[in-house]
Amino acid sequence: MITADASPERLDPGLRNAFWFATFNAFSFQMVLSSPMFLYARGLGAGATVLGLIAGMMPLLVILQIFSAPYVGRVGYKRFVYGGWTIRVMFICAMAVLPLLGGVLDKTTRLALLLAALFGFNFSRGVSSCGWLPWITALVPPSIRGRYLTVETAFVNLASFLVMILAAGALGSNPPEWRFAALFAFSAAMGAVSLSFLKRVPDVETPVEERFSHQPVPWGAIAGFAPFRRLLCFAIAWAFAYGGVAVFTVAFLKQLGVFSEGQILLVTSATFLGGLASLGLMRERLDRLGSKPALMLAQCLCLVTLAGWTAVAGRLLTPTLALVTALAMLSGLCGALVQLANTRLVMGIAPRMGRSHFFALFSVVSNVSLGVAPMLWGFAIDVVGSLERRAGGLEWNRFSLFFSAAAGFVLVASVLCRRLEEPEASSMETLAREVLIQSPQKLLLRLWHRG
């Protein structure tokens, strides 16, 4: 047992297990919360609204953290998280059986059972994830949290890339349902392996006030804390900008009829390569330059990405595999940068006393927004339907309208990002100068001296 907020400015050796947990957890959840699940549900007849429900269910059920937060300190961070993750694996096992019941159950029934299993999976995750951030925050010293988060994100994105390559090879074109069963069974096995590493992560002593306090939680006062409130507003705007991009990119590529399921999964895997690039981009810079420059850079890149998708959906650009892969990589980099910077920022804002409640409220607001966004986008896409109009050199259809509307929310998020409070942060120009000018110059000098 480690005392909370240990002082040495270095990582506890036991935290290596957290990196391996994150890796095998990514091997597991990407199969059931990402493109393989969207493709399977699409094969069962799911429309855009149902796909939006599947994409939104995980973040939406994070609202359960509000109700579980008062109990985390009493149960203990590690025990709380471990119990919920164990239940998750059980629901994945149920999902692995469904594709094998094609001769017994019709597609509508299997889709309903799939939604029920996904609800159980995400319910257990929503409750138990309340303990993860306070647990890790207590283990990682403040001055190296950016480095820790960057390395963890790299592990997750590398694992996600590899598992999407595996899924692409396994599914190919017009896959039989037993292949989906095999992928979901693999997900369950990787989930079980991740639990073995989670059990080895050092435990921490929860603050006394969390263990024994029976006072009602002052949610209003927490939400009204100015730096925290501004971060919440930014998180909501970003959720509506980015929340539906992953699922409806898959739906758009599927509708085109140009790419096979395997190729669509390869495009999805490029998203994680983009996320992996955040390691080289931000590993040392996040702690040194701050979170705001990373957030502003992500907004700029996201505008470029959504403009590209709008042009492809509007038939201004030909949807080649190289182009959509490049757009997916940029999208993954944007998502990773925002996740890294947001998490580091809320770690710095939340005080030690009541930390679990700050994290719970932030997770609930940001994730519920991420859950609601694809549902609303999916409903809007279904309402637009087959409507097509040409204007300004573009064909305005349901997907080009979606991508352009999402870009509008990026502009709103950019304005809110400038209002975030981080006194020590550098400017985005400083970050851009380091990335685009100073780093290439250093590389060229090294190559020159070697030559």
**What is residue 389's three-state secondary structure?**
strand
pLDDT confidence of residue 49: 84
Q: What is the block-wise mean pLDDT of the chain (451 residues), using blocks of 10 residues?
A: 53 84 94 89 88 84 83 85 94 95 92 96 91 86 83 89 89 88 96 96 75 65 87 94 87 86 86 84 78 90 95 92 94 91 85 75 87 87 86 89 95 93 72 62 48 50
Q: Where do the H-state alpha helices sit in 257-354?
A: 261-282, 285-289, 291-313, 321-349
Does 10 fall in a domain?
Answer: no
Count of domains in the chain?
1
Contact 189, 57 (CB under 8 A): no
Q: Where in 348-413 does DSSP place strands (E)?
A: 389-391, 394-396
Does 203 fall in a domain?
Answer: yes
Identity (one letter) of the amino acid at 396?
Answer: W
pLDDT confidence of residue 212: 53
Does 11 fall in a domain?
Answer: no
Does 144 fall in a domain?
Answer: yes
pLDDT confidence of residue 208: 63
Hey, what are 53's tokens? 């429900």
| pTM of the model as a whole | 0.75
pLDDT confidence of residue 214: 59
Scan for tokens 């590899």, then name that residue: 162
Does 5 fall in a domain?
Answer: no
Hey, what are 181's tokens? 């069963």
Q: What is the rounded distance in angstroms from the CA atom of residue 5 to the CA atom of residue 142? A: 9
Full residue range of the structural domain in which residue 106 is found:
16-446
Q: What is the rounded distance in angstroms from the CA atom of residue 319 to the CA atom of residue 400? A: 13
Does 6 fall in a domain?
Answer: no
**Surface-to-core class of residue 301, CB atoms within 10 Å of its CB (0-12 exposed, 13-18 middle, 19+ buried):** middle
Does 7 fall in a domain?
Answer: no
Does 9 fall in a domain?
Answer: no
pLDDT confidence of residue 7: 47
Hey, what are 383's tokens? 């309402």
pLDDT confidence of residue 444: 43
CATH of the domain at 165: 1.20.1250.20
Contact 287, 423 (CB under 8 A): no
